[in-house]
A and B are shown apart, each in its own frame.
Chain A
Amino acid sequence: MTARFLRGTAAATLAGALALTAAACTNPGSTAGGAGGPKDSAVVGIAYEPETLSPLLGYGKDGNSKIFDGLLAFGADMKLKPALASRLPHISDGGLTYTYTLRDGVTFSDGAPFTSKDVVFTYRTILDPKTNNASRTELDALKSVEAIGDDTVVFRLKYPYAPFAERTVQAIAPAHIAAKQDVNTGPFTTRPIGTGPYVLTGWSKGEKLTFKANTSYWNGAPPVKKFTMAIIKDDDVRATRLRAGDLDGAILPPNLAAGFKDDKAKKTWTATTYDYRTVTLPTHHRVSGDTAVRRALDLAVDRQAMVDKILEGAGKPAYGPVPTDSPWFAEGTERRHDLAGAQKILDEAGWKPGPDGIRVRNGVRAAFPLWYLSGDKLRQDHALAYVSDAKKAGIDITAQAGTWEVIEPRMKTDAVLAGGGSPGDPDFDQYLLLKSDLAGDGFNNMAWYDNATVDRALEAGRRTNDPAERRAAYDTVQRELMKNPGYTFLTHIDHLYVVNDAWDGPSTQIEPHDHGLASGPWWNVESWKPKKAGATQK
């Protein structure tokens, strides 16, 4: 027993020594690797790169932008808390007026004071049609914004919009710098200056973003003094560089994250999300637009099998854009996998099996095409599983791969395997996906869903601040979606991250589909604290 223990220890020491030497050869200048002391720098690998770093062009619209702050911010529990505002807004005038009092003594990283002018400048510039901001629609409800003195800002809305406060996590740009340049192409778009916990020190496009701590940050200087985000699109390369010690953390797909399970020095973080995968069932196709076909598909699809096989357990079945663990989820709208039930619905609706097993009604074959984004393995797997589940019910779906350029012109009549999801208010996803007058508006309401009851409930839900009325409205939407499922929702996908266990403080938020810089256990890197030396070698 003792001998074996000794041999094990010797081997471990040898391996450790080898690892240290290897790290020393490959990376002499960096503190990454097995160094013992507290780590005040972190390097993480991410898959996406922001198009711009200017809040005026859409960066930091969901908060958490490292370089900037919003008036409000989301906490770990996704509850709003004051940031550049000193408290939550005062809502008056029947939900039409939001008044924010600003925090005193905040400065931008160049030393200039932050005032109401910056807030007004930021919002007015975003609303200006000449600004190339593709997310302007999110501030659709905003009519005007004005400053009262240096520390108060008043927003007036066109219509009462309940989730408006969640939109004010929008990052605030400095007027004294950004107002003097071309908003779309000026140097500010790549060399930003903000009030945030970190200051950008470099952006090598396609390679990495580097940050240093803002020592005069209003909420205290971050203990992690240097923060680097390496942009590595390839999952395998990211995993390899994490294993080699070049990275301290990375986002990984489930199969690669599993490879780090036995690594005691690293921790795997699972973030639950609003990130759904769905199949659009176009209203303007005579098969997918039929309610019986839609309801049958909703029952025929085996969501749990998709979670188990495709996501390797890292996810949940989805019945709508609202995840089952959200407080807004309508109890009882889960659909069991029920192939017999699906067949019964189709039989009763007059879809009878033809000689090849595919159902036919009035000479129309129950068949339609399903597009998925080429190169997206996850969507491909979902599409193929959907096709095979549908076949069992007698519906013939042909899965086809294409780029958005190919898919977009066909969205009115062809089904698409789509993804999306923004956490927070139930208005965000449901309004864009289900509102009939947004049918075919860009990528909104891709299925051309058209349901008068849903339209009314969606409007009611966003125009009141009364919690009970809102809950009733969104319950109606979800129950209607069960009666006429114009989309087959398949799964909500967990995002997995593997991070060196060298800090106290990492945690996860509920994440959106588009997991850019803001997501991941490093969403709060400014409050991480290095663990004491030795604490990592448990």
Chain B
Amino acid sequence: MKRRLPWGAMARMTGRRALAAVPVLLAVTFAVFAVAEASPFDPVKAYAGTAGLTASQENLDQLRANLGVDRPLLTRWWEWLTSALTGDLGDSSVMRRPVADVIGERLGWSVLLAVTAFLVAIALGTLLGVLAGRRRGGLLDRTVSSAAYTLEAAPAFWLGLLAIWFFALRLGVLPAGGLTDTASDTVTFDQVARHLVLPALVLGVSQLPWFFLYVRQGVGDALDEDPVRGARARGLGERTVLTGHALRSGMLPMLTLVGSRVPELITGALLVETVFSWPGIAAATVQAATSVDFPLLAALTVLATAAVLLGNLLSDLLYGLADPRVGFDG
């Protein structure tokens, strides 16, 4: 039964993708610098905060020179790029700290949130999808499907606010935001677990419809296909038919979905982290963008782009493995 994995082909595909990623990343970072430069936000004002409102012009000009934001766009981008390649990501002006520190401190919390949400979406989506796909047109299918279409249209931040209003304010059962209780200054497992519930659920539920609809379709179609009918005719149990035959072929489209949902997950996290004051990198991205914090913004964009490219690679690899006809040609 066990089949040898095509390591060589997979490695070649990964290599090709890595090469293609270089120009993409370069273009993306330059675009970030250009867009930030064109935005009406002033990095010096953002840096000075309220003190900037009483500062003298000389003081502000000096700040501009210190921050290096008075130099031409291309120079700044090139300097950022060359020092980033040597491992120095620069200093974040809004966080007043090295960019590497900011990311190091926050990445873990974002990954925790995103992975939990992704697992919630996949697990719930698959389960509901299989149940609905089994009896298309049934009560469960109709309820969940219409809910899924509604959710597809609902923005994540709106779901977040709704969840805060209901669970935190009306019922008072779950905390409204943050990583720990306001009064607590140590990060403990049970506190984080309780504070994770709402944001992870909201983010997961906002991703759920796609998984649900794909699985429902896949399983439903597979149940009508010859192999399943054959299996049924051979007298196999319903459970075996479902998990062994229908689910296996029904899950195939979902593998592509895993990869292609990564960008959506990142934008979703951006909103959810902001709504729930979750101290992750997505919340930092919002701050970096509105304060025109070039080094932080560029590093975070590279990170997001890399995550998207990796997601695509992963889903293509998985697809190639699951369906040898597709292969690893990229």
Binding site for B on A (CB under 8 A): 22, 25-27, 29-32, 41, 43, 48, 50-52, 54, 57-58, 61, 129-130, 132, 134-138, 140, 182, 184-185, 187, 189-190, 201-202, 204-208, 210, 212, 226, 228, 230, 237, 240-241, 244, 246-247, 403-406, 420, 422, 432, 438, 440-444, 514, 516
Interchain pairs with CB closer than 8 A, number: 148
Q: Are A134 and B49 in contact (CB under 8 A)?
A: yes
**Cβ-defined partner of B54 (8 Å) among A32, A205, A432:** A432
Structural contact, A58 and B51, CB atoms closer than 8 A: yes
Question: Given the complex of chains A and B, what is the CA–CA distance between A145 and B204 in angstroms?
Answer: 59
Assess the B55–A137 pair: CB atoms within 8 A: yes
Choose, from B57-65, B123-131, B264-272, the stretch at the interface.
B57-65
Q: Which residues of the partner chain A approach B94 to less than 8 Å between Cβ atoms?
A: 51
Contact of B47 among A26, A130, A132, A210 (CB under 8 A): A132
Contacts A54-B96, A132-B47, A206-B283 given; does A244 touch B172 at CB 8 Å: yes
Q: Given A50, A187, A240, A420, which contacts B97 in the complex, CB threshold below 8 Å?
A: A187
- A interface, by DSSP: helix, strand, loop or mixed? loop
Are A137 and B59 also in contact (CB < 8 A) when A57-B96, A406-B40 are?
A: yes
Pick from B57, B91, B95, B173: contact of A442, CB under 8 Å:
B57
Chain A residues with Cβ under 8 A from B184's Cβ?
Answer: 29-30
| Besides A30-B183, A443-B52, 14 new A-B residue pairs in contact (Cβ under 8 A), listed by A number | A26-B172, A32-B183, A51-B47, A54-B96, A134-B47, A134-B59, A137-B55, A185-B91, A189-B96, A201-B185, A207-B178, A246-B183, A405-B40, A440-B57
Give min CB distance, A177 to chain B, whole Å: 16
- B179 to chain A minimum Cβ distance, whole angstroms, is 7
Q: Which of A22, A187, A190, A237 contacts B176 (CB under 8 A)?
A: A237
In the assembled complex, the CB of B29 is this many whole angstroms from the nearest CB of chain A, namely 21
Complexed CA–CA distance, A134 and B61 (Å): 10
CB A201 to nearest CB in B, in angstroms, measures 5
Q: A134-B47, A134-B52 given as contacts; is B182 within 8 A of A208 (CB)?
A: yes
Cα–Cα, bound, A61→B55 (Å): 13
Residues of chain B touching chain A, judged by Cβ–Cβ distance below 8 Å, are 40-42, 45, 47-60, 62-63, 66-67, 91-92, 94-98, 101, 169, 172-173, 175-179, 181-185, 191, 277, 279, 283, 287
Q: Contacts A201-B185, A405-B42, A514-B50 given; indicate if A206 touches B277 (C-beta within 8 A).
A: yes
CB pair B191 A29 closer than 8 Å: yes
Q: B53 contacts A204, CB within 8 Å? A: no
Provided the pairs A132-B47, A405-B42, A444-B56 are in contact, do residues A240 and B182 lie with their beta carbons within 8 angstroms?
A: no
Picked from A41, A185, A441, the residue with its CB within 8 Å of the CB of B98 is A185
Contact B60 A442 (CB under 8 A): yes
Residue pair B91, A208 in contact (C-beta under 8 Å): no
Is the Cβ of A185 less than 8 Å from the Cβ of B97? yes
**Beta-carbon nearest neighbor of B291 in chain A:** A51
Q: B59 contacts which chain A residues (CB < 8 A)?
A: 134, 136-137, 442
Say yes or no: B176 contacts A442, CB within 8 Å.
no
Residues of B contacting A52 in the complex (Cβ-Cβ under 8 angstroms) = 96
How far is B42's CA from A406's CA once the two chains are assembled, in angstroms? 11
Contact status of A247 and B182, CB under 8 A, knowing A51-B49, A132-B67, A134-B48: yes
**Residues of chain A within 8 A of B98, CB atoms compared:** 185
Residue from A207, A403, A404 in contact with B279 in the complex, judged by beta carbons closer than 8 Å: A207
A182 to B185, CA, bound (A): 27
Which residues on the A side are within 8 Å of B92 (C-beta)?
185
A-B residue pairs in contact (CB < 8 Å), sample of 5? A30-B183, A48-B50, A206-B277, A207-B279, A405-B45
> Which residue in A43, A54, A138, A406 is a CB contact (below 8 Å) of B182?
A43
Residues in chain B near residue A129, CB distance under 8 A: 62, 66
Nearest 3 pairs between A and B by C-beta?
A134-B48, A210-B185, A134-B51
Complex partner residue of B53 from A32, A140, A443, CB under 8 angstroms: A443
Contact assessment for B181 and A27 in the assembled complex, using a CB-CB cutoff below 8 Å:
yes
- Given A210-B185, A246-B182, also A442-B279 (CB < 8 A): no
Which chain B residues border A405 with CB–CB below 8 Å? 40-42, 45
Residue of B nearest to A138 (CB): B54
Among B50, B56, B96, the residue within 8 A (CB) of A185 is B96
Within the complex, the shortest CB–CB distance from A275 to chain B, in Å, comes to 12
Q: How far is the CB of A456 from chain B (nearest CB, A)?
A: 21
A202's nearest neighbour on chain B, judged by CB, is: B185
A184 in contact with B277 (CB, 8 Å): no
Query: CB distance B56 to A441 under 8 Å?
Result: yes
CB distance from B161 to the nearest CB of A (A): 10
Q: Which of A50, A184, A405, A406 has the most CB of B within 10 A?
A: A184
Q: B63, B91, B92, B279: which has the most chain A beta carbons within 10 Å? A: B63
Q: In whole Å, how far is B169's beta carbon from the nearest beta carbon of chain A?
A: 6
Asked whether, in the complex, the Cβ of B45 is within 8 Å of the Cβ of A404, the reply is yes
